[in-house]
Structure 1
Amino acid sequence: MNLVLNVIWLVLAGFWMALGYVVAGIICCVLIITIPFGIASFRIANYALWPFGRTLVDRRDAGVGSVVGNIVWIIFAGWWLALGHLVTGFLLCVTIIGIPLGLANFKLIPVSLVPLGREIVPVPA
């Protein structure tokens, strides 16, 4: 079932969302000081391509740097991304077929809001 949902997600929403995160990651990597944000953006792009069957967990080795980085991320990009996922999720939930895709958008809100200090892992079967 995850495969079917991921393919539908990829065609309808995932490719475009991932493309946006990749462009943001490239811009962040060009600006040398924001390379950690670029790497985080690439991770989110990977997650946005194929979200079903994976989840987020907190990294225990994340320190104060990730907290400070997340605060900067929230101010400049995170809340815009989270708002976009929230609106898109509500719009997708209007149709019955779009409900799982809307829920996937809601699942992307935490990682788009605070990406540093988190890891994307497969959901145990």
Structure 2
Amino acid sequence: MRLILNIIWLIFGGLWLALGYLVAALICFVLIITIPFGFAALRIAVYALWPFGRTIVDKPGVRPGALIGNIIWLLVAGIWLAIGHVLTAIAMAITIVGIPLALANLKLIPVSLMPLGKEIVPVDGPGVPTASGFPR
């Protein structure tokens, strides 16, 4: 089922969203000081291409630099990428088949706003929080 959802996602919006993240990454790489943001944008671009079967978790440990970086990212690129996700989610939610895709778009909004200090992991893999809150 994940394969089918990922293929439909890729055709009906995932490719365009990933290109948006790729453009953001390229802009960040041009401006030398924002290279860490570029790497975060590339991680999210790959996730935006194939989101089903993976999830986003917080990296362990205190990261004060990530908070400052996330605020800068939010002002520079995050808000625009989040708007893209909202618009794409609305367009996908028009049909019944598109509702899971719209929910996946909504799942991407928090990481598009604050990507630093996050990690993308497989749903069935290690590091994913269980019902108790502890990773496997």
* TM-score, normalised via structure 1 length: 0.94
Q: Is the 8 A contact 2:92 2:98 kept in 1?
A: yes
Q: What do residues 33-82 of structure 1 show as CA deviations (whole Å, max 9, x unaligned)? A: 01011001101100000000100000013511100000111112212211
* Map of 1:118 onto structure 2: 118
Q: What do residues 7-40 of structure 1 show as CA deviations (whole Å, max 9, x unaligned)? A: 1111111111111211211121111101011001
* Map of 1:59 onto structure 2: 59
* Map of 1:9 onto structure 2: 9
Alignment gaps of 5+ in structure 1? none
Alignment gaps of 5+ in structure 2? 126-136
Q: What pairs with 1:23-102 in structure 2 (closer than 5 Å)?
A: 23-61=23-61, 63-102=63-102
Number of residue equivalences: 125
Q: Which has the higher helix share?
A: 1
Superposed CA RMSD in Å reads 1.3
Rounded to whole Å, the distance in 1 between the matches of 2:14 and 2:112 is 14
SS in 2 for 1:20: helix
Ranges of 4+ aligned residues in structure 1 off by more than 6 Å: none
* TM-score, normalised via structure 2 length: 0.87
Amino acid paired to 1:66? A
The Cα shift of 1:101 comes to 1.0
Amino acid paired to 1:114? M
Instruction: Please tell me whether Structure 1 or Structure 2 has the larger radius of gyration of its CA atoms.
Output: 2
